[in-house]
Homo-oligomer: A and B are copies of this chain.
Amino acid sequence: MKIKKAAIFFLLLILVNNTFANDGYKLWLQYLPFENKAVSDYYRDYLEHITIAGESATQKVIQKEFEIASEGFFGHHIHPVFSKTTGANLIWVLKTHDLPADTKSKLGPKLDEIKEEGYWLKSFQGKIIITAKTDIGLLYGTFAFLKAIQTREKLENLDLLENPKIQKRLLNHWDNLNRTVERGYAGFSIWNWHRLPMHIDQQYIDYARANASIGINGTSITNVNANALVLTPEYLEKSAAIADAFRPYGIKIYLTARFNAPMILDSLPTADPLDPAVQAWWKNKTEEIYSYIPDFGGFLVKADSEGQPGPHNYGRTQADGANMLADAVKPFGGIVMWRAFVYNEKTPTDRIKQAYDEFKPLDGKFRDNVIVQVKNGPLDFQPREPFHPLFGAMPKTPLMMEFQITKEYLGQETHWVNLATMWQEVLQSDTYAKGKGSTVGKVIDGSLHGYPLTGIAGVANTGTDRNWTGHPTAQADWYAFGKLAWNPDSNIDDIAEDWLKMTFTNDAEFVKTSSEIMLQSHEILVNYMTPMGLHHIMARSHHWGPGPWVTGGGREDWTATYYHKASVDGIGFDRTDKGSNALAQYHPEWKKIWGNADKIPLEHLLWFHRVSWDKKLNTGNTLWTEMALRYQKGVEGARWMQTQWLGLEGKIDEERFEHISSFLKIQVAEAEWWRDSCLLYFQQFSKMSLPAGVEKPKYDLNYYVNFKRNFVPGI
């Protein structure tokens, strides 16, 4: 064995991070080789012999994951040996009822704290025990254990009992059947419908692995702007094949239901949810779906919004619509996720008020297998919004969170921005619904109102790009979403560091510098795009780049001028009781904080208030000066990110380093574009000059207004 160890030694001497090619496909499951022999030996002792008692599909997946990890960690030198009995093995992957009796009794009552999907990672008498009540718990525990190795934790101290705080942890794919992805910036849909059901692409398996590794247990694979075809046998057969592939990973399939599908597919004269024929149609259709997919998760519905049909077409409520579908899936254990993103241009009120106005009166009127899916803010995934006022306002109706992992309004494919920062801001926001500490996180984990059903959804950022997510760093958003879905109180600094270590390297300088970039990136982006509560000033339709001048065109609520209302008098949307009074949808505590233009934290100023250009702010600057300085600060922040990153050359593989470097070049250029065009546009109204320290714009306003690019992705 001496020579073998020598072989390993030499293998490990080489810093494999400095290879040419790493396209990032392996995400945070890189299982990179260890940095030296000592580290390698330490973990090798554990990984050589592993106990797995059963032979379920999930247990086979666990075994395979250990094999993949070993191949990554050690090259082809170490092949873990698996056995069903414990023997002298140092890793036991055993369900609690499979643990040896003496071990079980020594582990004691804490074992009972493990819930359905939970696990316990426990260092015990020199061994590592990965135990759970279910197969899926074992898989989650296995990934947690491999993460501990990837992040170089000492295994002797392992004692990690984890249960997910939210039940339904989903990705939502806005993927169309023609493989375009609405608001997708990483290429096209990973679902290759044409090859299904006979060909199961390896990418589906790797997608399931990645999701299971972060605890995601469901996925809605079709666009919420739904095509009724997904409910036909042609597509059900294909969805069933995907469901079969995902099942061992604990991931259920959900489908989007087009509300008027009975009319489209079977020529019913109506889709009225109270019509018995329509109800029967959905019951039959649901039965048919379950005949293909016995553990089908349920429906996700966008209704009465942006052209989608819905119960309003028949004078019915959102509850009427949701309940009809809920009754259909109920016998099979399915649920209905009904989106609260309901608004239209005909309602003569502030767009951001409409969801609350619509849903608040329906609290308690939904079936128990309905959960209302609410975007994090009341508008539409802006770089910064206050939390959605429905959170805390629906004690009798389970609400789930909808985050957008894909960056429709946040630079799309080429900007590095760590979304976890923004999500944490929302999750930690206090609704005051039951007094101080009634955070949004506690609403959605069910603890505040005792929701029997809890959920969270992230609009996926995956696509055919070789690294899944377009920007290599956008993988971090997928990862962080999973972690926050498991536990909304997770520490986002830890999430960033873990992700960096697992994805790139454990090099301390790399991790420190990169995590600093990540944690500051959101504030930087807000500054160069939409500082001080500005919102929806992106270009029309594709939302790429600045468009504060966007106006007219049929739907006022889709223009920038509707939201910023800039004029010579000032700028901002008055949402106090002197304006739209959207503020009243929040708990009165928030009126104290946000209601006064002199006291409101500046990051929300123009969201709630209309302010004159020369108003003195508590920073000592006028509004105009403060805005200009913040845009400048954003640009400088982007440049700082670039400088920091370029200093890390050589720490990781060439390919990903260069990829991120060239995207940072674009990010800096686009930050300048945002600053220059927005300031030139608003300067028309402020009629004030740029303060010292703010760089002169490269072009005139006319240039920016007329700048057009064809075939911008994502629409």
Residues on the B chain within 8 Å of A4, using CB: 10
A 125-161 binary contact with B (CB < 8 Å = 1; else 0)? 0000000000000000000000000000000000000
| B-chain residues with CB within 8 Å of residue A75 when the two chains form the complex | 11, 14, 75
A3-22 toward B: CB 8 Å interface, digit per residue (1/0)? 11011011100101001110
Stretch at the interface among A279-287, A498-506, A626-634, A706-714: A706-714
Inter-chain contact B662/A413, CB cutoff 8 Å = no
A643 within 8 A of B: no
Interface pairs A-B: 4 shortest CB-CB: A7-B10, A14-B76, A7-B7, A464-B464
Q: Smallest CB–CB gap between A218 and chain B, Å? A: 25
Closest approach, in angstroms, between the C-beta of A205 and any C-beta of chain B?
10
A663, B199: Cβ atoms under 8 Å?
yes
Q: List 15 A-B contacts (CB under 8 A).
A: A7-B10, A11-B11, A19-B71, A20-B71, A21-B202, A23-B25, A25-B466, A187-B187, A188-B188, A193-B711, A194-B413, A198-B666, A199-B665, A201-B659, A234-B709
Interface size on A, residues (CB 8 A): 56
Is B188 within 8 A of A464, CB to CB? yes
Contact A188 B179 (CB under 8 A): yes
Contact A198 B662, CB 8 Å, known A4-B10, A188-B188, A193-B711: yes
Give every chain B residue within 8 A of A709 (Cβ-Cβ): 194, 234
Give the complex CA separation of A11 and B200 in angstroms: 32
- Best-surrounded residue of A23, A76, A188, A659 (most CB of chain B within 10 A): A76
Q: Mark A503-533, 1 if CB is under 8 A from B, else 0.
A: 0000000000000000000000000000000
Shortest A44–chain B CB gap in Å is: 15
Q: How far is the CA of A3 from the CA of B5 in the complex (A)?
A: 10
Contacts of A710 in B (CB 8 A): 177, 229, 234
Contact: B712 with A194, CB < 8 Å?
A: yes
Chain B residues in 8 Å Cβ range of A77: 10, 14
Instruction: Write the chain B residue with the least CB distance to A708.
Output: B234
Contact partners of A666 in chain B: CB under 8 A = 195, 198-199
Please tell me if A268 contacts chain B, counting CB pairs below 8 Å. no
- Please, what's the 1-or-0 string for A629-663, where 1 marks a CB less than 8 Å from any CB in chain B? 00000000000000000000000000100110011
Hey, which chain B residues are within 8 Å of A198, CB to CB?
662, 665-666, 669
Mask: chain A, 165-182; 1 = CB below 8 Å from B; 0 = not: 000000000000111000
Is A67 interfacial (CB-CB < 8 Å)? yes
* Interface mask (A671-715 → B, CB under 8 Å = 1, otherwise 0): 000000000000000000000000000000000000001111100
Residues of B within 8 A of A550 (CB): none
Cα separation A374 to B224 with both chains bound (whole Å): 46
Tell me, yes or no, whether A313 is within 8 Å of chain B by CB. no
Inter-chain pairs besides A3-B10, A188-B464, 18 sampled, C-beta below 8 Å = A4-B10, A11-B75, A11-B76, A14-B77, A20-B64, A21-B202, A75-B75, A178-B711, A179-B711, A194-B713, A195-B413, A198-B666, A199-B414, A201-B659, A202-B658, A203-B466, A229-B710, A234-B709
Q: Name the one of B20, B64, B188 contacting A187, with C-beta atoms under 8 angstroms.
A: B188
What is the CA–CA distance of A187 and B655 in the complex, to the nearest angstrom?
23
Residues of chain B with a CB closer than 8 A to A187's CB: 187-188, 192, 464
Q: Are A659 and B202 in contact (CB under 8 A)?
A: yes
- Nearest-CB distance from A13 to chain B (Å)? 9
A539 neighbours in B (Cβ, 8 Å): none
The contact string, 1 if C-beta is below 8 Å from chain B, for chain A 199-227, is 11111000000000000000000000000
* A68 in the interface (beta carbon within 8 A): yes
Q: Mark A454-488, 1 if CB is under 8 A from B, else 0.
A: 00000000001110000000000000000000000
* Complexed CA–CA distance, A151 and B259 (Å): 59
Q: Which of A351-410 contact B (CB under 8 A)?
A: none
Give Cα A413 to B21, complex, Å: 27
Report the minimum CB–CB distance from A489 to chain B (whole Å): 35
Q: Once the chains bind, are B464 and A177 in contact (CB under 8 Å)?
A: no
Q: How far is B6's CA from A613's CA once the two chains are assembled, in angstroms?
A: 75
Shortest C-beta distance, A439 to chain B (Å), equals 38
Chain B residue nearest in CB terms to A201: B659
Interface-centre pick from A64, A198, A202, A234 (highest chain B CB count, 10 A)? A202
Min CB distance A312 to B, Å, is 29
Contact B20 A68 (CB under 8 A): yes
Contacts of A7 in B (CB 8 A): 6-7, 9-11
Pick from B25, B194, B414, B662: contact of A200, CB below 8 A: B662
Minimum distance in angstroms from A228 CB to a CB of chain B:
11
Residue in chain B with minimal CB distance to A185: B194
Determine whether the beta carbon of B6 is less than 8 Å from that of A67.
Answer: no
Interchain nearest-CB distance for A698 vs B (Å)? 16
Q: How far is the CA of A413 from the CA of B196 in the complex (A)?
A: 12
Residues in B neighbouring A200, C-beta threshold 8 A: 662
The smallest C-beta distance from A192 to any residue of chain B, in angstroms, reads 8
A542's nearest neighbour on chain B, judged by CB, is B194
Give complex CA distance A19, B31 in Å. Answer: 15
Nearest-CB residue, chain B, relative to A79: B14
A72 to chain B, nearest CB (A): 10
Residues of B within 8 A of A9 (CB): 7
Given the complex of chains A and B, what is the CA–CA distance between A464 and B10 in angstroms?
Answer: 37
Please measure, in the bound complex, the distance between the C-alpha atom of A623 and the C-alpha atom of B465, giving whole angstroms: 50
A68 to B463, CA, bound (A): 28
A18 to chain B, nearest CB (A): 9
Q: Verify B194–A711 contact, CB threshold 8 A.
A: yes
- A40 to chain B minimum Cβ distance, whole angstroms, is 14
Give the docked Cα–Cα distance between A192 and B4 (Å). 46
Bound-complex Cα distance A280 to B332 (A):
71
Contacts of A14 in B (CB 8 A): 75-77
CB distance from A26 to the nearest CB of B (A): 9
Given that A14-B76, A16-B76, A77-B10 are known contacts, is A662 also in contact with B194, CB under 8 Å in the complex? no
Q: How far is the CA of A496 from the CA of B335 in the complex (A)?
A: 53
Give Cα distance in the complex from A454 to B59, angstroms. Answer: 60
Q: Which residues of B contact A67 (CB under 8 A)?
A: 20
Query: How far apart sit A6 and B203, CA to CA, in the bound complex (Å)?
Result: 37
Chain B residue with the shortest CB-CB distance to A76: B14
Q: Is the CB of A202 within 8 A of B464?
A: no
**A193 to B, closest residue via Cβ:** B711
Instruction: Report Cα–Cα, A16/B203, bound state, in Å.
Output: 21
**Which residues in chain A, 303-328, are within 8 Å of chain B measured between CB atoms?**
none
Distance to closest chain B CB from A65 (angstroms): 11
CA distance A23 to B234 in the complex (A): 28
A451: min CB distance to chain B, Å: 39
Residues of B contacting A658 with CB < 8 Å? 202
